[in-house]
Amino acid sequence: MDRHDLNLRRLATAAVAVLLPILAALPAGSGDGTAGGRATQPSVATFAGGCFWCLEADLEKIEGVFSAVSGYTGGHAKDPTYEEVSAGGTGHAEAVRVEFDPQRVSYEELLEHFWRNIDPTVKDRQFCDVGSQYRSAIFYHDEAQRVAAKRSRKVLATDPSFMGSIYTEIAASTTFYPAEEYHQDYAKHHPIRYRYYRRGCGRDRRLEELWGDKK
């Protein structure tokens, strides 16, 4: 190595020694283009609306939703399987847990999407699926969500189209058990079977009857 190369290496080493303390002092995430130098902390919402294949597919289309996971919640059985939940007796409902960016979509907006993708006028069923495991429900994660959920249900109950017949449950969120892997993103992995089931269950036909242009 000649003297020129040696001097260049010394300069580079000195520059690194100066820059490292500066970089270490920067807040985590600085320079990533997010407000305050940090990515938005995801918020969580949990909804039940009959078949979780369908509700998951509907909710994950919403701009601002990071993920939608199918699972079971609201019951007493630990680590339930699909067969146990679908047979009834576990107290659980098929549900979807959503992680979302509250700066891009509010919880109130998620509630609006939720209502328009379920039939709130029936008890312990949704479309062709019958039983408490297919009930519609909003499982709130904090007081703000509880208040927002109750407010939105009250507003919906005043709509003449529903004549006060709203059976959607509002309850505190409990342990959420993700469903088996083959249920996750079912609509994406099995599009033909998914469309056949959804059409045969009459989901979209009933939603059109209920919501029409509001959908």
Could you tell me the sign of the dihedral formed by the alpha carbons of 162, 173, 198, 60, in that order? Answer: positive
Whether residue 143 contacts residue 66, with contact meaning beta carbons closer than 8 Å, is answered with no
Q: 3-state class of 166 per DSSP?
A: coil
Whether residue 126 contacts residue 50, with contact meaning beta carbons closer than 8 Å, is answered with yes
- Residue 183: which region, alpha, beta or left (left: phi > 0; alpha: psi -120 to 50)? alpha
DSSP state of 101: -
Tokens coding 158? 């005043």
Annotation says 201 is catalytic: no
Q: How many CB atoms lie within 10 A of CB 3?
A: 7
Q: Which of 51, 54, 128, 201 is catalytic?
A: 51
Known catalytic residues are: 51
